[in-house]
A and B are shown apart, each in its own frame.
Chain A
Amino acid sequence: MPTTGVEFAKVSYTPEGGHLILREISLALAAGTTTALLGRSGSGKTTLLRMVNGLVTPTSGQVKVHDKVVNSVRSTEELVSLRRSIGYVIQETGLFPHMTIERNTALAMELEGRPKDERERRTREVLEQAGLNFDALRTRYPWQLSGGQKQRVGLARALSLDPAVLLMDEPFGALDPLTRAEMQNMLKQLLVNLNKTVLLVTHDLGEALFLADRIVILAEGQVVADLPAREVLESPNPHVKDYVSAVRRQMVI
Chain B
Amino acid sequence: MIEIFKRHGWEIGRLTFEHLWLTVSAMLFAALIGLPLGVFLTRKKGWAKPVIGLANVIQTVPSLALFGLLLPVPLLGDNAARLAIVALTGYALLPILRNTYAGIGSVSPELTSVADALGMTDWQRLWKVELPLAGSVILAGVRTATVICVGVATIAAAIGAGGLGELIFRGVASVDNGLVLAGAIPAALLALAADAGLGWVEKRLAVRQR
Contact = CB atoms under 8 A, between A and B. Distances in A.
* A, B co-complexed: yes
Interface of A: 50, 53, 55, 76, 79-84, 86, 88, 90, 92, 94, 96-98, 107-108, 111, 141, 143, 157
Interface stretch (B18-26, B68-76, B116-124, B180-188): B116-124
B110 A94 contact: yes
Nearest to B113: A55
Contact of B118 (A76, A92, A107): A107
A97 B209 contact: yes
A143 B206 CA distance: 13
B116 A83 contact: yes
A96 B120 CA distance: 13
B210 interface: yes
A83 B132 contact: no
Interface residues of B, number: 20
A80 B111 CA distance: 17
12 contacts: A76-B121, A82-B119, A83-B118, A88-B114, A94-B111, A96-B129, A111-B118, A111-B119, A111-B124, A141-B208, A143-B208, A143-B209
Contacts of A80: 119-121
B133 interface: yes
B210 A88 contact: no
Given A98-B207, A107-B128, 20 more contacts: A55-B113, A55-B116, A55-B117, A76-B121, A76-B122, A79-B119, A80-B120, A83-B117, A83-B118, A83-B119, A84-B119, A88-B114, A88-B117, A94-B110, A94-B111, A96-B129, A97-B133, A97-B209, A111-B120, A143-B208
